[in-house]
A = this chain, B = another copy of it.
Amino acid sequence: MKTRDRILVASLMLFNEEGETHTTTLDIANELDISPGNLYYHFKGKEQIIHELYHQYELALSGTLTAPIEQPLSTDTGSAEDNWYFLYVVLEEMYQYRFLYLNLSDILQRYPTIQRGFAKLTQLKRAALYAICQTLLSHRLIDAGNQQLLGLVDNMTLSLCFWFNYDQLLNEERPPQVTIHQGVLQLMTMVAPYLGEEQLSFYRDCETIYATMLEQ
């Protein structure tokens, strides 16, 4: 791996583990056993590293989020399972860059150029969740009413954005897959009450997938 890429990987790891505020460029150089001058040759400071990481994140996540908007998932059945995998991928990508979410206000305040991109990314999350809800609802022939649907999608977007924060607040550290699958379960079950009579079977499908995933 090139030094530049190694710097990015090490920075991401340290930001996620130790917190972005507590990580200096010196920590990053030490972690890689390179001189501060070598690091400086590739990046002029922490800000430039953060911008590069954010750019990577934005590129990866927007690609994922655009999929269900352009091509609705599960065109035949609207099954719980397809949506489950999709949300898992989204949360997994977010988890890889979780330092962004854990001190979001502070980071956006210190790196204002990220702010606009971040707001756009959040709107894209909302659009993807809207597409998912529409597919689920249409296949079960239940209409939630557009205003209710928007409220639901807002709640889901909020839960998606701050799931790791909530998890960190209430739970001891647990394996990432548990946190991520639990987040998917939480999101999926938000749609359930809108599915009318199908509600309970949808719930059970979700619980079954959750149990199966964690056994793997």
Determine how many copies of this chain the complex contains: 2
Given A103-B105, A104-B165, A162-B165, are A155 and B193 also a contact pair (CB < 8 Å)? no
A193 and B148: CB pair below 8 A? yes
A109 and B148: CB pair below 8 A? no
CB of A144, distance to nearest CB on chain B (Å) = 8
Neighbouring B residues of A190 by C-beta, 8 Å = 151, 155
Interface size on A, residues (CB 8 A): 41
The answer to whether A186 has its CB under 8 Å from any CB of chain B is yes
- Among residues of B, the one whose C-beta sits closest to the C-beta of A106 is B103
B155 and A159: CB pair below 8 A? yes
B166 and A19: CB pair below 8 A? no
- Interface residues, chain A, with chain B CB atoms under 8 Å away: 19, 21-22, 102-106, 108-109, 118-119, 122-123, 144-145, 147-148, 151-152, 154-155, 157-159, 161-163, 165-166, 168-170, 186, 189-190, 192-194, 200, 203
Give 10 A-B contacts (CB < 8 Å), ordered by A residue. Answer: A102-B105, A103-B103, A148-B192, A155-B155, A155-B186, A157-B166, A158-B158, A161-B166, A193-B193, A193-B194
